[in-house]
Amino acid sequence: MRQHYVYIMTNRSRTLYTGVTNNLERRVGEHRQGIGSKFCNRYRINRLVYYETCSDPRGAIAREKQIKGWLRAKKIALIESANPDWDDLSEGWYG
């Protein structure tokens, strides 16, 4: 069964972007190249700071909507619970 991912990306100013995909490495690469999302391109969103897996695409979409509905403080708490230093989790994925 194919995995689906809910993820949060950011930039140096910590502008947040939440998305869902079935191929996290490809999607993060697209964001880094500035394709696939006008928002990410405009704000230079290029750092993966959080992700979680779901086995069901409907569950992943529901989780994405849930997180998007949260206040910024709750999103930050989620990121910091798994990645307190806001490290780029995709570092080293691309040569």
In tens, the pLDDT along 47-95 reads 999 999 999 999 999 999 999 999 999 999 999 999 999 999 999 998 7
- State residue 36's pLDDT score: 82
Give 36's contacts (C-beta < 8 A, 6+ positions apart).
Answer: 27, 30
Is the CATH code 3.30.70.260 the one for domain 4-82? no
- State residue 2's pLDDT score: 86
CA–CA dist 37, 24 (Å, integer): 14
Please give the model's pTM, rounded to 2 decimal places: 0.95
Give 83's contacts (C-beta < 8 A, 6+ positions apart).
Answer: 49, 50, 89
CA gyration radius, the chain: 13
